[in-house]
Structure formats: structure tokens, C-alpha cells
Structure 1
Amino acid sequence: MIKVLIADDQALVRGGFRVLIDSEPDMTVVGEASDGATAAELARTTGPDVILMDVQMPGVDGIEGIRRVVADPALAGVRILILTTFDEDEYAIAGLRVGASGFLLKNTEPEQLLHGIRVVAGGEELLSPGLTRRLIARMTIPSTAINHDVFAQLTTREREVVALAAQGLSNEEITRELVISPATTKTHISRALTKLDARDRAQLVALAYRHRLIEPS
């Protein structure tokens, strides 16, 4: 059962998400919050797997809410999916920088939202690969600040897997591309996360772009 916490300042929006999520046999809503501070507090008591976090909320906004969740060692396993009505890169970039695992607009189809929750909860792939790839590409750093040694501890195969993930490929697609087993793909991703001290796949991909494991298109 995937436990979901909803953070949005509009009660109607929270109610709509709750009905949608609770209608799924493998999901349940464990709490609702109207700002980032309450979301972080509720996360400690409800133990969600995924937080749906609105960005613009009064008082403590979603970005600060994400920062508080990520900074709490007790919430290390919580994944955060940014939800916003604003299709602007800055919100997604800010969220990814502080630890969000994905980005989705509120006007997405219900099926896509539910799929996104499952994806983030499983930690297997990024949401909206094209959008996320474009946003992370904007997070690259100047060539003078590139640290090519970042990936020195990875094996050749692990570097290949991380590079493909950074291009937006899912685990299934990486498995087909490299002609390896699904279990092997997951193992390579897991080892890369551990070696690079990355919280999740989003941070792993961000590192690949920031330190030029691959070049952003």
C-alpha cells in the first residue's frame, strides 16, 4: 500500500486528489496539509511514501517544505512529487535542487498522476522525462567547475546505466538497450546511488548533467 500525503493550500484540490487516490486499491491518503511546514510535520507522524507538494502556498511554501523533509533523517525514505499549476522551469528547478523526485502539472490526466505516484514510490524512473531532462540540463555548472572525478568510482557499466538514465530512459528501456536483466539494471542504479551519495534518481541524473557525464542537448 502506497501512503500519500497531500500538501496544497486549496481544500477543493486536496479533496479531489484524495478521492482519486483513495479509489486505487494500492494507495491511501494518510494526511492533508495546507502549507510546507504542516506537510513536514505531518510527514513525521504519518510516514508517507510519497508527498504531493504544491509549490505556491501561503506561509511556508512547497520548496521550503521539501527542504525540511529532505533535511530530516527520519524521513529519508519519503519521496516528493511537485504539483503546480504554473508551467515554469524555475519552480521545477528549485524543487529538484532541494530534493524533489519529480515534477507534474496539476492539469495532467488522472491516470498520469497515479502512474507518477507509483513511479516515485518505486524510485525506478523520473517523471515526464523530456521535461525533467530539460530542467536538469539548465542546472549544469560552468566548465571550470566540472569535477570529472565524481564518476571515477563507478564501473564502466554503472557509468553507462547512469548516462542512459540521464537521457530519460526507464529501467525497462535501459535493460533492452544494454541487453541485461532487469535485476542487473536495478543493481547498477542502486550501486551508483550509494557510491555517489545521491538521495534518489533525480539527484543521480542531475549529477550526470552537472559534471558532464553526458552533454545536455
Structure 2
Amino acid sequence: MIRVLIVDDHEVVRHGLRFVLDQEDGIEVVGECAAGERALAVIPALRPDVVLLDMVMPGLDGLGVLRRLAGTPEADRPAVIVLTSFLEDERVVEAVRLGALSYLPKTTAVDRVVDAVRAAAEGGSVLEPGVAALLVERVRRGGARRPLDLLTPRERDVLAQLARGRSNSEIGRSLGMGRETVKTHVSSILAKLGLADRTQAAIFGLQQGLVPLDEALDG
């Protein structure tokens, strides 16, 4: 069961998200908060797997929450999906840098939000095209330290497997995940890095030194 905490200062948004998620098998909304400080206070007790986090709130905003969570032990840190009405360049990059797995406009279709929750529980991302484009452009302009910084640890694992020439089925067996989860990770990697296909991703992984060249050739 994926445990979800909804953090948004608009009651209608919170109730709408709860209604959608409560219809889904394997997902349980364990709480709602209208403020960032309150969310940080209840996370240790509720222990959500995923937090749906509004970016703009009175008091401590979404980036503030992400900064505070970044200072907690990784084992106690929930996956975070940012929901926002604003697609500002600096906010997108900073949210991803601080650990947000997905950054979704509030106009995102509900099924995409559900996909993002399921992906986040597995350490993956779901990015809307406009957000992905912003991230790619920011990396190209030097806004991130290096492109790999945009990937989650799990996405890096998948990228390393791609660099070894593995199929989705082989990656799933190696990393202990289903084929659909692997596909979600691969799609996120391509979007974040601005790559066209898995071949480009494999080459990129080799260029970044994720896998020694002789090991890739043996694979």
C-alpha cells in the first residue's frame, strides 16, 4: 500500500486529490495539511511514502519543505511530488535539486498524477513535456552541476543497466522491479536528459563513466 500525504493550502485541491487517490487500488491517503510547517510536523508520525506538495503556500513554501526534508536521514524521507500553478525555471531546477521526483502543473490530468504517485513510490519520475524541456534547457545553460544530478539514484541504476545493453526485462530482474516500472524510469531518464532513445541513453551512461567500457562490451 502506497501511503500519501497531501500538502496544499487550498481545501478544494486537497479534497479533489484525496477523492481521486482514494479510488485507486494500492494507494491510501493518510493525511492532509494546509501548511508546510504542519506537514513537517506530521511526517514522522504518518510516515507517508509519497508527499504531494504545493509549491506556493503561506509561511513555509514547497521549496522550504524540500530543504528541510533534504536535511533528514534518507531512510525517513518520503518521495516528493511537487504540484504547482507556476512553471518557473529557477523553481523547477531547485525543486529537482532538492530531491523532488516529479514537478507537475496543477492542470495535469488526474491519471498522470496517479502515475506519478506510483512511480515516486518506486523512486521514479513523471514529467510533463514543458517541465522536461525546462530542465533540459537549464542543464544545457549550466544551471545544474552536471546532467546526472537531475536523476534519482534509482534512475542512475537503470541508466547504468542501459549502458550495459540490457533489455527492460533484464533490468527488471537485475534491479528487482517490474517491466512497467522500468519503462517509467527509462522514460524519465530520456525526458530529463533530453535524449531521443535508449541507445542515446546507453552512450550517455558510458560517457559519464557509469559502467567501464570493457564491462559494457562484455554485457
> TM class, shorter-chain normalised?
0.5 to 0.7
1:28 paired residue number: 28
- For 2:79, the aligned partner's letter is R
Distance 2:158 2:63 in 1: 32
1:213 paired residue number: 208
Tell me whether 129-138 or 73-82 shows the greater mean CA deviation: 129-138
Structure-2-length-normalised TM-score: 0.66
Question: In the TM superposition, what is the alpha-carbon distance from 1:184 to its structure 2 partner?
Answer: 2.5
Question: In the TM superposition, what is the alpha-carbon distance from 1:133 to its structure 2 partner?
Answer: 4.3
| Secondary structure in structure 2 of the residue aligned to 1:24 | coil
Question: In the TM superposition, what is the alpha-carbon distance from 1:97 to its structure 2 partner?
Answer: 1.4
Do residues 175 (structure 1) and 167 (structure 2) align? yes
Matches within 5 A, 1:37-76: 37-73=37-73, 76=76
Question: In the TM superposition, what is the alpha-carbon distance from 1:45 to its structure 2 partner?
Answer: 1.0
Do residues 184 (structure 1) and 174 (structure 2) align? yes
Matches within 5 A, 1:47-196: 47-73=47-73, 76-123=76-123, 125-128=124-127, 130-131=129-130, 133-137=132-136, 138-139=138-139, 161-162=159-160, 175-176=167-168, 180-184=170-174
Deviations 1:131-153 (A, max 9, x none): 554344314686xx87xxx9xxx
Distance 2:45 2:116 in 1: 24
Distance 2:166 2:88 in 1: 29
Contact 1:4 1:29 in 2 (8 A): yes
- For 1:116, the aligned partner's letter is A
Contact 1:126 1:132 in 2 (8 A): no
Question: In the TM superposition, what is the alpha-carbon distance from 1:100 to its structure 2 partner?
Answer: 0.9
1:193 paired residue number: none
> Unaligned stretches of 5+ in structure 2?
150-155, 178-187, 194-200, 210-219
- For 2:125, the aligned partner's letter is L
Distance 1:186 1:129 in 2: 27
Question: In the TM superposition, what is the alpha-carbon distance from 1:71 to its structure 2 partner?
Answer: 1.4
Instruction: Provide the aligned C-alpha RMSD in A.
Output: 3.6
> Unaligned stretches of 5+ in structure 1?
151-157, 166-172, 188-200
Question: In the TM superposition, what is the alpha-carbon distance from 1:86 to its structure 2 partner?
Answer: 1.3
- For 1:100, the aligned partner's letter is A
Q: How many residues are paired up? A: 175
The sequence identity of aligned pairs, in percent, is 30
1:191 paired residue number: none
Question: In the TM superposition, what is the alpha-carbon distance from 1:50 to its structure 2 partner?
Answer: 0.2
1:17 paired residue number: 17
Distance 1:85 1:101 in 2: 17
Contact 1:163 1:213 in 2 (8 A): no
